[in-house]
Every structure is written in C-alpha cells, then in structure tokens.
C-alpha cells in the first residue's frame, strides 16, 4: 500500500496554511513593533539621535511616572478628573550635543505609558513604550537648541513635559 509521499493535495493545503500562518504572525509582529514605537529616522537624527540602551551618556536624568493627586485623595477631585498621571520632573534642561540618558520609571502596575518626543517645530521625532513597573532608558543627543515637548500619548493633555536644549556655551 502506498502512503502519502508528501506531495498529495492535503500536504499542499497544509503548506499553504502554514504560509498563511507565518504571514499573519509576521504582520502581527510588525504591527506590535509599530505600537512599541520608533527611533528617529535618518532625517530626524539631524535634530536628535537616540540609542536605546542608555549607553554612551555622560549625564542623565530619571523621570518617574506619578499618579495625581499625591497624598490624601480628594473624592470630589477624583470624581471630576478621574485618576491623572504626570511625568516627574516635567521640565528638563540639557546641553546641545551632550549625550544624556533618560531613564523612565513606570511606577504603575496597571498602566502603560509612552514617550513621544516632538521638535521645537512640532515634528514628531520618536516614540517609545514605557511598560508597567519597568525602567526604560534611552540616550538622547540633541543637535539643535530650543524647546522640545514630550508626551504620553495615552494620557493627554495632562501627561506632558518639556526639554530645553541649551547652548554648551552656557556651562
């Protein structure tokens, strides 16, 4: 009796199913990456360059994600505004062309945040996920002076901050 040699119609069907499955997994992975964020493009790197692990930094800042109100909660405030989140600190000063590590500590066990950076002209430069109860570190080197804005896209407008990029001559 002849057994299936691997070229029968059922095998061909299985192969095409596997191909479809692999394509679906690949697409899911791509969309997951897009959700996770993106580093500066070649054009954006003329404004800011970023390395994901925080390496090469000479100085750094820790930015916490905090829940508002801190301390005793006011039931009326909670009712009017819900739970609010903020970056702490919300304002950071850095020098141009000085690699600076930014370590974001997501202190919430039940809330995802992210870090989206915009140039002084309002151009979005990068976006990075800040998972629950994790430290996420990136080294940023700003090449243009001015006032940059950063956002958590999930908690707008309250969860925002500013980075002032100063001239190194101000040292």
Give the binding site for Cu ion (CB under 5 A). Answer: 85, 113, 152, 154-155, 159
Of 132, 133, 135, 125, nearest in space to 163 by CA: 125
Closer Cβ to Cu ion, 131 or 168, answer by number: 131
Closer Cβ to Cu ion, 45 or 108, answer by number: 108
Q: At closest approach, how far in Å is the CB of 76 from Cu ion? A: 23
**CA gap 49, 47 in Å, rounded:** 7
Closer Cβ to Cu ion, 39 or 68, answer by number: 68
Q: At closest approach, how far in Å is the CB of 109 from Cu ion? A: 14
Of 29, 57, 38, 34, nearest in space to 116 by CA: 38
Q: At closest approach, how far in Å is the CB of 129 from Cu ion? A: 11
**CA gap 139, 112 in Å, rounded:** 21
């Amino acid at each position: 009796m002849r057994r299936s040699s691997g070229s029968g119609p059922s095998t061909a069907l299985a192969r095409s199913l596997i191909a479809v499955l692999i394509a679906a997994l690949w697409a899911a992975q791509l969309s997951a990456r897009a959700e996770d964020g993106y580093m500066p493009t070649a054009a954006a790197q003329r404004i800011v360059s970023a390395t994901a692990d925080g390496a090469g930094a000479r100085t750094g800042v820790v930015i916490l994600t905090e829940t508002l109100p801190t301390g005793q909660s006011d039931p009326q405030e909670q009712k009017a505004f819900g739970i609010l989140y903020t970056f702490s600190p919300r304002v950071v000063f850095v020098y141009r062309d000085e690699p600076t590590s930014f370590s974001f500590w997501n202190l919430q066990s039940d809330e995802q945040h992210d870090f989206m950076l915009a140039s002084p002209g309002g151009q979005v430069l990068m976006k990075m996920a800040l998972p629950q109860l994790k430290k996420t570190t990136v080294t940023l080197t700003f090449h243009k002076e001015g006032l940059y804005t950063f956002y958590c896209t999930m908690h707008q407008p309250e969860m925002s901050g500013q980075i002032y990029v100063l001239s190194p001559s101000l040292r």
